[in-house]
Amino acid sequence: MALVAGAVAFSGTGAATLNGDELATISAASRSLAGLWELARNIDGHFLPYYLFMHFWVKAGTAELWLRLPSAVAIGVAAWFLADLGRRLHSVRAGVIGAALFAILPSVSYYGAFARSYAFAAAAVVFSFWALHRAVERPGGGRWVTYGVAVALVCCTHLFAVLALPAHLALVRRGVLVRMAVALGIGGLPAVVLGLVGFGERHAISWIPQRGPEVWLKFPKMAAGSTWAGVLLFVVALAGAVVLWKSTAGRDRRHDGDSGSAGRELGAGEGRRWAVAGVGWLVLPPLLLLAVSQLVTPAYVDRYLFVTAPALALLAGVAVAGVPRFPVPAGVALVLVGGLLAAPDQVTVREENGRFENIPWALRVVKAEPEDAIVYGQSQLRAGFDYYADAAMPDDVLRTGDVPDADGFGYPERSEVAAALKGRDRVWVVWRGTKQAGLQGDSVPRVAQVRQAGFEPVSVKHSADLPGLTVALFERKSERKPERKPARTPTRTSARK
């Protein structure tokens, strides 16, 4: 199932082009180690562990498939640990069905073919629950070290992945309290460091709007990547928690290949702890993320909650495996129904605009003529045009350097737009967002500056999906001279009478 999940995730690349976040990964990873450190001191510091990994990965290239391959591998790793965790908690069937359900989620196809750390975070969280089960089941020094390493990986893959860790506390009991606390404390140190860094750089997510509790209604879609498949699996997952709560045996399990472990009974108390832990893994991240948004800074974004997707699939797998009669046909049926419900979203994530920032489309819209200029509403957008452009582009009249800013992902630019456009009659303006975002108000200052320089839009196109890209052609206003009225010819009076 690990290979299947990894392959399905990798196929999520499809025709989908890189978006701004993935281009930021290229920008960060392509810098020197000193440059990467300088960047982390100003923005995206909590991504530093991932950027360090990608720094060495991109030395072999920056093609789309190569950039996204690590995320697909991470999904395969997550599926393997998920299948084994399901076996440990209930049965082999539960693990296999849970991994299969995980593989069919559109969110898995999206983040498994996405050059960011979200797939790594999901894999690390699954690994942490797997390692905790081993350590609690048969306490030993080596197992607690593994658990501490797993917690550290969770903290290093994404700052908000740590919101799944409080669910571990449901498994605390007297015999393991001290060792678990030590492992959590030492493994959680990266979260403290990266959390302080992230708090100092919270301006980087200032674009995130404040959310209210109503966003929880969209959570099944956020976790699964599909509304109806998400709702179905969420309901089944809750039933899976009930199965764990009532569980008293795991007759199909063989822990670690150790002799004498087959048929070892899962006590009612342990089953209840894991039922609470599983539900906590599923629902605590959105609850805590909204609390962070309300108390610290707005931060509620669906991709920060991808770590809950494995919990959704695992609990649903346990529910189906717990069906008294015909659990295998029931599991196959759930996978098929879930796959059919998710099919439209699976198609969407594989389209060219599957990452909602279609730069090749924008390049096709730009029909450059000699002496045309181009202005970017957001400086960092030009990185995508540099990556995909394979023909002559309009003159980038504001750009003053080819190296990105040391403290961000933008490029050095001239500040005087009117002076840069002097002598130009046509200018293409590209910005991230809707038409209205650029043409109304001042949310995209560059558009207003182009207008102030004497240009007016003659063509405006948007890539349809939100936020998307807008490409507009501006032409210089013609300076029309007032029309002269023809002089009246005086009426001649005849001299003859």
- Phi, psi torsion values for 427, nearest 5 degrees: -140, 130
- Integer-rounded Cα Rg, in Å, for the chain is 28
C-alpha torsion sign, points 179, 183, 189, 192: negative
The pLDDT assigned to 411 comes to: 96
Averaged over 59-79, what is the pLDDT? 97
The pLDDT assigned to 268 comes to: 58
- Binned at pLDDT 50, 70 and 90, residue 490 comes out as very low
Smallest CA-to-CA distance from 111 within 97, 125, 122 is with 122
For 239, the token pair is: 């039933």
Model pLDDT for residues 305-339, shown as the tens digit of each residue: 999 999 999 999 999 999 998 999 999 999 999 99
- Binned at pLDDT 50, 70 and 90, residue 486 comes out as low
Angstrom distance (rounded) from CA 281 to CA 6: 22
- Spacing of C-alpha 91 from chain mean position: 32
The answer to whether residue 441 scores a pLDDT higher than 90 is no
The pLDDT assigned to 481 comes to: 43
Averaged over 264-268, what is the pLDDT? 52
Instruction: Please provide the distance, in angstroms rounded to a whole number, between the alpha carbons at the two ends of the chain.
Output: 115
Model pLDDT for residues 113-169, shown as the tens digit of each residue: 999 999 999 999 999 999 999 999 888 889 999 999 999 999 999 999 999 999 999
Locus of tokens 């013609």: 478
Show the CA angle centred on residue 20, arms to residues 17 and 22, nearest 5°. 70
Q: What is the mean pLDDT of the chain?
A: 90
Q: How far apart, in Å, are the Cα atoms of 453 and each of 207, 275, 394, 421, 434?
A: 28, 63, 18, 8, 22
Averaged over 399-410, what is the pLDDT? 94
Model pLDDT for residues 331-384, shown as the tens digit of each residue: 999 999 999 999 999 999 999 989 888 999 999 999 999 999 999 999 999 999
Angstrom distance (rounded) from CA 151 to CA 189: 9
Averaged over 244-254, what is the pLDDT? 61
Are 48 and 29 in contact, with CB atoms under 8 Å apart? no
Model pLDDT for residues 275-293, shown as the tens digit of each residue: 999 999 999 999 999 999 9
Record the pTM: 0.91
Model pLDDT for residues 448-475, shown as the tens digit of each residue: 999 999 999 999 999 877 788 999 999 9
